[in-house]
Amino acid sequence: MKPAPFSYLRAESLDDALEVLNSRGADVDVLAGGQSLVPLLNMRERRPEIVLDITRIPELDGIVFDQGAMTVGALVTQYDLGEHPDIDDVLRECLPYTGHYATRHRGTIGGSIAYGEPRGELPLALLTLGGSARVRSRTGQRDVAADQLFVGPYRTSLEADELVVSTRWPSPAVGEGRAFVELAQRHGDFTLASAACTLTVSDGEIVAARIGVGAVADRPVLVDDAARALVGRDANASAADGAGAATRAAICGYDDHVASAAYRSHLAGVLAGAAVSRAMERASG
C-alpha cells in the first residue's frame, strides 16, 4: 500500500519544527527515524496532513553524562546508543531486542519514547530507571517523568505542539545492580513479556528496588508491591523468587492470538524473578 497524500516539511532548526507544531500540531506527524511511522503511513493507519522531518536538527543529537545521569538527544539512534561504552546494564541488555539490526541504525531513542509502544523495550527501561523526557514547545520546555509520560497504548501525555528533544537516564549508584530480560517467539518479534529491575544492596540487604514489566498491559508498568516486598530482605534466591511471585499476582495480562492472559502473567513473574536475581548479583559483586 501507499500512504494517503500529505505535505512534507523538513525543519532546519528546532525553532522551525516548534513553529510548525505550534500552528498545525494536531495535523502533524513527526518523522525522526521513521521505522514505526513509515509503515503506519503505508498502511494508512496514520493520515496526517503534514509529515515534519526533524532529522537535520543538530540540537537533537548527542549523548552527555552530567550530574548523575545520561542525557540522550532525541535523534541518537538505537544502534549508536547501544554501542556507547558507558551505558548501564538495562540499556545494554534491552537495545539488542529493540527491532532488528537494520532498523536500529535508523530508529531513534526519542522516537521510541514518543511512540509509546506498550511492548517497547525503551519505554520500559526509562520507566524502571526513573528517567524522564524533556519536551519543548514554542512557549517553553518541561521535564516529564516516565511514570507520567505513558498513558495508554501508543499514547503519551505530550501536547500536540510539544516535541521530545532528549531523554534523561539516571546513572547507577554505588551498590546498585540493574538488569533487563525478555522473551519473544523469535528474536526481533514483539515481546511476549519483559521485565527490568534496579536495586541497591548494602551489607547483603536490599535497601531500594524498582521492578517494571512490559507487554502485559496498555503501557509499561511498575510493580510497586513486588519492589516494596524486596526492601529489607537479604539479597538471595528466596528474595528473587518472592519478587517473581508478587509480580505474577499483580499482573492480569491480556489475551491475543499469541498468548493468553494467564500465560503472560506467569511469564511476567518468571522474568521479573530472573531480572531481580541478575540485578542482585551485580549489586553484590
H-type helices in 11-168, by residue range?
14-24, 37-42, 78-83, 89-94, 101-104, 109-115, 121-128, 146-149
Q: What is the pLDDT of residues 234-272, one digit of tens each?
A: 999 999 999 999 999 999 999 998 899 999 999 999 999
Distance CA 53, CA 282 (A): 41
Q: What is the pLDDT of residues 83-106, one digit of tens each?
A: 999 999 999 999 999 999 999 999
Q: What is the pLDDT of residues 42-73, one digit of tens each?
A: 999 999 999 999 999 999 999 999 989 999 99
Asked if residue 50 lies in contact with residue 27, where contact means CB atoms within 8 angstroms, the answer is yes
Task: Tell whether the model's pLDDT for residue 1 goes beyond 80.
Answer: no
- The domains found in the chain, sorted by start residue, are 7-53 (3.30.43.10), 58-170 (3.30.465.10), 176-284 (3.30.390.50)
The 8-class DSSP code of residue 233 comes to S
Strand ranges (E), 78-204: 132-137, 140-145, 150-152, 155-156, 163-170, 176-183, 193-202
Give the H or E element holding residue 221.
strand 221-222
Give the H or E element holding residue 266.
helix 261-284
Asked if residue 14 lies in contact with residue 136, where contact means CB atoms within 8 angstroms, the answer is yes
